[in-house]
Amino acid sequence: MAEYVGAIDQGTTSTRFMIFDHDGAEIARHQLEHEQILPRAGWVEHDPAEIWQNTQTAIAEALKKADLTATDLAAIGITNQRETTVVWDRRTGEAYTNAIVWQDTRTDKIAAALTEAGHDEVIKHKAGLPPAAYFSGGKIQWILENVDGVREAAEAGHAIFGNTDTWLIWWLTGGPAQDGRDEGLHVTDVTNAGRTMLMDLETLAWDDELIALFDIPKQMLPEIRSSSEVYGHTLADGPVGGVVPVAGDLGDQHAALFGQACFEPGTLKNTYGTGNFLVLNTGTEIVRSSNGLLTTMGYKLGDQPAVYALEGSIAVTGSAIQWLRDQLGVIKAAAETEDLAKSVEDNGGVSFVPAFSGLFAPYWRPDARGAIVGLSRYNTVAHIARAALEAVCYQSKDVVDAMIADADLELEALKVDGGITANELCMQIQADVLGVDVSKPVVAETTCLGAAYAAGLAVGFWNDTDELARNWSEASRWSPEWDDSQREQGYAQWKKAVDRTLDWVD
Ligand code: ADP
C-alpha cells in the first residue's frame, strides 16, 4: 500500500517535487531553478524543455532522498505558475518558441485593442477577467501571429497549447506518440483554463465567442477537466520509474487555497511573497466584483460542483523589502526589517506606498508611482522599514475590504503563508490593521500540499475535505492589539499616502 503522495510545483523561478505523508507532513523535496530569459524590455520567457528536464530531475532526486520508489506513491499532483503559455508540436514535443511568462507585457496592445473595440464586457462577464497581457489568450494569439508556421500547424492539428501544467502532464503521461504507445494526455483543469480569458466560468468549457476574439483554432486547446481526478498514469520508464496516477492539477494560488484547507465559503488565504495573492472561497456562487477583484475558479473536485473564488493580487510587497536591501542598501537581509522596525514605536508619520509599477487590486492605477511621504528630520531608516512592513499589510487590507464589500461577508480570520510570514512583527501589524486574527499553518508549503491533496483525494488516499481540514494545524496566531481609533487613524494616513501616488505618470 502506497503511503505517500507526490506533488510537482512548477513555479516562476523554480520547479520542485515534494513528497507528503498521510498527515500532510513533508517527507522530502528537491528543487531546481530555471533561467529567466529577458530578450527585451517587458519580455519574460522560460525554456519549456529546461522546465521538463528540471521536473524529471526534481522527481528522481526527491524520491532518492526519501529512499522511495514509484510504488510508494499513491498519486502525483501538479501545481503551476499560471498563465505562462507554451505552444508545441505534438509530433515531436518541441516547443515552437520559448514559453511566454505571465509577467511578460508584449501583448499589452492585444489587450488594449479588445477594450477599445468594446469586447471587455463580454470577457469580464464570461471569463471573470478584464482583458490584460497577464492572461494566456493574448499570448497564444501572439505566438500564432508572430512565430512562422504556427498558425498552419495549429490548423492542421499539430501545434497545441498548454500552460506548464498541461505541458508536464503531456510529457509525464506519454509525450509524442511512438510505435505502440499513445501520445500523452492534452488536458488542463478548470483553475488553469480559467486564466486564459477563453473559458466560460458558468459552463466550464471553452467559449466559442471568446476564442473567436483571439482568433485561436479550437483544436489547439487542451481538454478541460476537474482539479481532482485520475487524468492518466506516468510511464513505467519515465522519471517516476513506475506507473503512478496523475490525479491533481491546480494553478498555484488555487492550490494554496486548497492546501490552506479554505473549503468553506468566506475562508480566505493571503500568500506573502514577492507580491501578495489573496484568494477568497465564495462557494458554488460566482461573485462578480464591483471593487476591482478578479472572479476566478477556486477548485473543482471530480464531478462535484465547482467552487469559485475572488482574487486580489498586489504587485509589490516582498519586493519592496528587496528594494530596501538591493537598491537603497539600508539592510543586508530581508529579515533585518523586523528588528529595525521594532526599534521604533511606530512609523513616525511616514508612509511608504511601493507603487513601483502602478497599483494593482483594488485600485488598478497604472499612472501611480511609488512614494515615501510624511518625512520629517526626526525620521530614520527604522521608520521607513516599519512603513515598508505596514505597506505589505495595508495593501492586503485594501484587498480584504474589497472582498468583504463584494462578497458581503464578515471575516473571521486570515490564513497566511509565504516568505514574509517569517516576520512576526509584520504579521502582528497585519492583525492590527485588519482587526482580525492572523493564523499560520504548520506546513508552510501550502501550494505543493494543495496539489498533493487534490491528487490524493482522487485516488481515495484521503476520503474527503473534512479529513484534509483535520490535517491543517496552526503554528502561530496573531491577535489585534490596536484599538479602533488607532486602526482608523493608521488607515486614514495610508489612504492619504495612496492619494499622493496617483496621477504621477501619463
Ligand atoms: P516568492 O515565492 O514570491 O519568490 P517567497 O515566499 O520566497 O517569495 O518570499 C520571498 C519574499 O519575502 C522576498 O521578497 C523577501 O524580501 C521577503 N521576505 C522573506 N523573509 C522576510 C522577512 N523575515 N521579513 C520581511 N520580508 C521577508
What number is the average pLDDT over the span 208-228? 97
More confident residue, 487 or 363: 487
Burial class (CB in 10 A: 0-12, 13-18, 19+), 236: exposed
Residue 334 CB less than 6 A away from ligand 1: yes
Question: pLDDT tens digits for 28-51?
Answer: 999 999 998 989 988 989 999 999
| Residue 249 β-bridge partners | 78
CA of 498 to the centre of ligand 1 (A): 23
Peptide bond into 131 cis (omega under 30): no
Residue 448 CB less than 6 A away from ligand 1: no
Quote the pLDDT of residue 360.
81
Q: Give the pLDDT band (50/70/90) at residue 450.
A: very high
pLDDT at 141 over 80: yes
pLDDT at 443 over 90: no
Which residue is listed with cell 511573497? 273
CA of 392 to the centre of ligand 1 (A): 11
CA of 273 to the centre of ligand 1 (A): 5
Question: pLDDT tens digits for 301-335?
Answer: 999 999 999 999 888 899 999 999 999 999 999 99
| Residue 88 β-bridge partners | 95, 160
Question: pLDDT tens digits for 179-200?
Answer: 888 999 999 999 999 999 999 9
Quote the pLDDT of residue 1.
76
CA distance 137 to 142: 9
Where does residue 157 fall: left (phi above 0), alpha (psi -120 to 50 degrees), or beta otherwise? left
pLDDT at 25 over 90: yes
Quote the pLDDT of residue 13.
87
In a mutational test of the pocket of ligand 1, which residue from 34, 321, 428 has the highest number of ligand atoms less than 8 Å from its CB? 321
Are the beta carbons of 135 and 44 closer than 8 angstroms?
Answer: no
From the CB of residue 9, how many other CB atoms can be counted at a distance below 10 Å?
Answer: 27
Are the beta carbons of 12 and 100 closer than 8 angstroms?
Answer: no
DSSP string, 187-202: EEEHHHHTTTT-EETT
CA of 230 to the centre of ligand 1 (A): 34
Q: List for the chain the helix, strand, coil content (%; round to 5).
A: 35, 25, 40
Q: Which of ligand 1's atoms lies nearest the C-alpha of 322?
A: 16
Determine the number of helices (DSSP H) and then strands (DSSP E) in the chain.
16, 24
Are the beta carbons of 440 and 416 closer than 8 angstroms?
Answer: yes
Percent of the chain with pLDDT over 90: 87
Residue 313 CB less than 6 A away from ligand 1: no
Residue nearest to atom 24 of ligand 1 (CA): 335
Are the beta carbons of 483 and 289 closer than 8 angstroms?
Answer: no
Are the beta carbons of 201 and 284 closer than 8 angstroms?
Answer: no
Task: Give how far Cα 341 sits from Cα of 73, 76, 345, 383, 392, Å.
Answer: 45, 42, 8, 7, 13
CA of 419 to the centre of ligand 1 (A): 4
Quote the pLDDT of residue 410.
85
Angle separating helix axes 252-259 and 446-458, nearest 10 degrees: 80
Total residues found in the chain within this entry: 506
What number is the average pLDDT over the span 384-390? 98
pLDDT at 280 over 80: yes
Question: pLDDT tens digits for 84-107?
Answer: 999 999 999 999 999 999 988 899
Residue 246 CB less than 6 A away from ligand 1: no
pTM here is: 0.92
Q: Give the pLDDT band (50/70/90) at residue 252.
A: very high
CA distance 87 to 292: 31
Are the beta carbons of 127 and 200 closer than 8 angstroms?
Answer: yes
Quote the pLDDT of residue 274.
85
CA distance 136 to 133: 8
Quote the pLDDT of residue 315.
85
The span from the first CA to the last CA of the chain, in angstroms, equals 62
Parallel, antiparallel or unpaired: strands 413-417 and 223-225: unpaired
Element (H, E) at 251: strand 245-251
